Amino acid sequence: MDTTPPPPQDQQQQQEELLRRLRSPVPQRNQQQPPPPGDLSAIGPIVLIVASLFFVVAFVSMTSSSGNFLVLHQVPEGHVGVYWRGGALMKTVTDPGFHLMMPLITKFEPIQVTLQTDLVRDIPCGTKGGVMISFDKIEVVNRLRKDYVYDTLLNYGVHYDKTWIYDKIHHEINQFCSAHSLQQVYIDMFDQIDDKMKEAIQRDCTQYAPGIEIISVRVTKPNIPSSIKRNFELMEEERTKALIAIEKQKVAEKEAETQKKIALSEAEKNSQVSRILMEQKLMEKDSAKRQEAIENEMFVAREKAQTDASFYRVMKEAEANKLKLTPEFLELKFIEAISNNTKIFFGDKVPNMIMDQRLLGSFLNGMKRKDFIDVQ
């Protein structure tokens, strides 16, 4: 089924034909007497004609593509409806949904109040040095606040964005380019153009059209003459080479610093190892020294003990021998020695020898007594 609405000319012809039929008198086929009072049978055709007229007008209004002929119209989501009556903007602002209005008298327009992106193309400008450049496109993300729809449209019309976005972008871009050189516009300050455009547009909108809110501005790289562009490319190549050299130098410095740190770490490690080994050797020497001192002390103590024991033994033996040296013991030993001798000597000296031994015993006995008396 074809749902394409008829063109406005056909709609106008249909409406004129409908009005002509309504104005023409209804043909009377049969002349009848007027109904008696109280008879409602004649009201039925009138009600049917009025209902038919209403449905025809409603159908034409709903199928018409022009908002001027609508009775029942729709405001889409994200928009508000504004109305003009007799060319004057009405203060009525409707929300999304279905609404009624008087056709042919009231004009309706949906106004977007959500985020929208206006694309401004082909913006020529001249730099401070006289070089002509152009921006292919600049995107401006903006929004019209719902509370300021009436005031904004009253002052600047439905196409308010042409005044405060399209024309304003051209003006601000030319102002920026004329105050800066090509080097600044194309390279040095290109990253700042977005923020500067946003601030400039928002500043004027806040002062003169507070309902317009600028969300962001996106500026593309401008087109510059080929010869100048080639010079910039060569300059950028040289700058890139310089940056690469600088980065290589930084890498070499980092590597040298790393090697230095590694050497210092290795030397510190060796120093710590040497110190630990030296401390270990000193501890071993100290331990050996202490061990030797202990052994020496033990040896001295042992020798001293042995000497004391030997001295004590000798002293005791001397005392014992002193006690043993009695005439009787000596005589006994003499006799035992003589008896053990297997040789027998004969001669004049034998009695004398025996006598000498006896005299020796007597002498020792006298000495013993003398020592006892001295002790007493």
* Strands (DSSP E) found in the chain: 72-75, 79-85, 88-94, 97-100, 106-112, 116-126, 132-144, 212-219
- What pLDDT is attached to residue 63? 40
The Cα–Cα gap between 113 and 99 comes to 18
Confirm if 358 and 350 have CB atoms less than 8 A apart.
no
DSSP letters, 226-242, are HHHHHHHHHHHHHHHHH
Confirm if 144 and 152 have CB atoms less than 8 A apart.
yes
- What pLDDT is attached to residue 178? 92
- Tokens, residue 270: 């060796």
The Cα–Cα gap between 71 and 78 comes to 21
Closest CA to 65 of 10, 135, 20: 10
- What pLDDT is attached to residue 42? 52
- Tokens, residue 358: 């006896």
Written as tens digits, the pLDDT of the chain (376 aa) is 344 444 445 555 665 666 566 555 544 444 444 445 444 455 666 767 766 666 555 554 444 434 555 678 889 999 999 999 888 999 989 999 998 888 888 898 999 999 999 999 999 999 988 889 999 999 999 999 999 999 999 999 999 999 999 999 999 999 999 999 988 898 889 999 999 999 999 999 999 999 999 999 999 999 988 888 788 778 878 888 888 999 999 999 999 999 999 998 889 888 889 889 998 888 988 888 888 889 888 888 888 888 888 888 888 888 877 777 777 777 777 777 777 765 555 555 555 554 455 555 565 566 555 555 554 5
Can you give the pTM of this predicted structure?
Answer: 0.49
Q: Please, is 4 exposed, middle or buried when counting C-beta atoms within 10 Å of its C-beta (0-12, 13-18, 19+)?
A: exposed
The Cα–Cα gap between 110 and 96 comes to 9
Confirm if 35 and 42 have CB atoms less than 8 A apart.
yes
- Alpha carbon 249 to its chain centroid, in Å, reads 28
